[in-house]
Amino acid sequence: MAITGHSSRDACPGALQVHHAADGPLARVRLPGGDLTGAQLAVLATSGGGVLELTSRANVQVRGLKDPAAFAAAIAAAGLLPSASHERVRNIIASPLSDSAAFRRLIRELDAAICAVPELADLSGRFLFAVDDGSGDVAGLGADVVLMSRSEHFAVFAGTTDLLLRLPPTEAIHEAVEVAQNFLRLSEGAWRVHDLPREIFPGVPAELSKPRTSGYVGDFGETTGALVPLGRLTAEQAMVLAEAEWLRITPWRTLLVPKGTRLPEGLITDPESPWLHVTACTGSPGCAKSLSDVQADARPIGAPVHWSGCARRCGRPRGEVVDLIATTSGYQRRAS
C-alpha cells in the first residue's frame, strides 16, 4: 500500500507559528465552526497592519502583525487561544446555518476533545475535521474526518470512507478523535487522510456532496449573510462588524451576523452577485512569489474563477473552478 509522505516540515502558519510574508508576519487564527464574538473580531482587527483575510476553512489570517508576541497574548486573553500546543490543529468546519445549541455545543466539544489528546498536536496544520448538519454543505469540502448528522446520530467518515457507524454525538466525537489518532500511527509522514490508501480505514467508499463554490448570502430568517469580496476585510470594516454580538465565518468567505446588524460598506448581500464566484490568492505585494497584484486584477468572468499569482494557486476552492494563473506575460487560463 503506497503512502504519500512529505519530506518537508508542515509550515502551515498558526497564531504562534507565524509566516514571514513579504508584508510582515502573518498569523492564522483557528475558529472552530467559524464562530467568534464582535469583541474577539475587534482584537484581531487592531493587532495587524490593517487587513484580515477569511480563509476557505472559516479561519482568519491577520497580516502585517506589529508584535507577534503581544498578538499571542491578546488573543489568549480574548479566548481565541485555548491551547498553545494544539492551536494549529483546531481545524473544524461546520454547517454555518445550523445554530441549534446542541449542534454548536458539539463543535466546541470536538474542539476540546482534540486539544485533550497530547499526540494530536502532531497532526499537520492541514488536517481538517467537518461537522455537517445533514445538508451536505461542508461534507464535500475535502475534510479528513467528517461527522454527518443522521437525525439524532452521526455517521463518521475517514476522508471518503464511510466507517459504517451511526453514533450519538458524544460517541461520534470519540470516534473522530480515534480516527485522527489512527491516522497518526499509520501516516508515515503524510499530512492528510487522502494521502493514505482508502483500505487502511475499514468501511466502504462513499460519495459525499459536490463542493459548493459559494454560500450563504442574503437573508436567512434571523440571520443575514454577507460576502467579503476576495475574503479581504479591512480593519475599518472589521470594527463596524465588531458591534455584532456574534459572527460566523463560512468556508466561502462569507459572514453570518444577526439580522439588523450594521454592515460596513463593501460587503455584498445580493445572492445573485457575480462576485460570489470569484476567489483570489493574496498576490503581490503581500506574497513575494506572486507575479501580479492579483487582488487588483481579480474580477468576475461569468464562471467560478480563482485568480492566482503563481502556479501554487494558494486558496483555491474545491470544485469546478477556472484557474487564471499569473505569468510574466499575463494570466494563463486553466480549466479544472
pLDDT band at 210 (very low <50, low <70, confident <90, very high): confident
Confidence bin at 211 (pLDDT 50/70/90)? confident
Residue 79 CA to residue 77 CA, distance in Å, equals 6
Kindly state the percentage of the chain with pLDDT values over 70: 97
**At residue 178, does pLDDT exceed 90?**
yes
Average pLDDT score over residue span 173-196: 95
Separation between Cα atoms, residue 110 and residue 128, nearest integer Å:
12
3-state secondary structure of 31: coil
CATH 3.30.413.10, the chain: domain bounds: 275-335
Q: What is the pLDDT of residue 32?
A: 98
pLDDT of residue 2: 54
Residue 175: pLDDT over 80: yes
Q: How confident is the model at residue 4 (pLDDT cuts 50, 70, 90)?
A: low
- Residues 315-324 have a mean pLDDT of 90
What region, left, alpha or beta, does residue 231 occupy, with left being phi > 0 and alpha being psi -120 to 50 degrees? left
Our measurement of the distance from residue 174's CA atom to the centroid of its chain's CA atoms, rounded to an integer in Å, reads 22
Decide if pLDDT at 216 tops 90. Answer: yes
DSSP state of 268: B
Residues pairing with 21 in the sheet: 24
Nearest alpha-carbon partner for 173 in 82, 124, 111: 111
Lowest mean pLDDT across 37-46, 189-198, 210-219, 301-310:
210-219
C-alpha cell at 8: 518537508
Please state, in angstroms and rounded to a whole number, the distance separating the CA atoms of residues 257 and 223: 6
**Mean pLDDT to the nearest integer, 207-236:** 93
Q: What is the mean pLDDT of residues 122-148?
A: 96
CA angle (96 as vertex; 93, 98 as ends), nearest 5: 115
Q: Look up the CATH number of domain 275-335.
A: 3.30.413.10
In this predicted structure, what is the pLDDT of residue 7? 46
pLDDT level of residue 8 (50, 70, 90 thresholds): low
| pTM (two decimals) | 0.94
Q: What is the pLDDT of residue 189?
A: 86
Q: Shortest CA distance to 259 belongs to which of 249, 244, 238, 276? A: 244
- Give the count of alpha carbons within 13 A of 125, CB side only: 19
CB 233 within 8 A of CB 53: yes
How high is the pLDDT of residue 3? 58
Report which of 131, 125, 201 is spatially closest to residue 159, judged by C-alpha positions.
201
Q: For 241-278, write each residue's pLDDT tens digit.
A: 999 999 999 999 999 999 999 999 999 999 999 999 99
Nearest CA among 84, 101, 195 for reference residue 142: 195
C-alpha cell of 294?
492579483
Instruction: Work out the average pLDDT over 115-127.
Output: 97
pLDDT tens per residue across span 45-72 = 998 889 999 999 999 999 999 899 999 9
Q: What is the pLDDT of residue 9?
A: 62
Mean pLDDT value of segment 136-161:
95
CATH number of 19-205: 3.30.413
The model's confidence at residue 335, banded by pLDDT at 50, 70 and 90, is confident
How large a percentage of the chain has pLDDT more than 90? 86
Sheet hosting strand 51-54, strand order edge to edge = 19-21, 24-29, 60-62, 51-54, 232-234
Structure-block grid coordinates of residue 40: 474577539
Stretch 165-173: mean pLDDT: 97
pLDDT digits (tens, 9 = 90+) for 274-300: 999 999 999 999 999 999 999 999 999
CB within 8 Å of 280: residues ≥ 6 apart: 230, 231, 294, 295, 298, 306, 307, 308, 315
Check whether 217 has a pLDDT greater than 50: yes
Q: What is the pLDDT of residue 254?
A: 97
Q: What is the rounded distance in angstroms from the CA atom of residue 43 to the CA atom of residue 78?
A: 7
Q: What is the mean pLDDT of residues 211-225?
A: 91
Q: Give the pLDDT score at 5.
A: 56
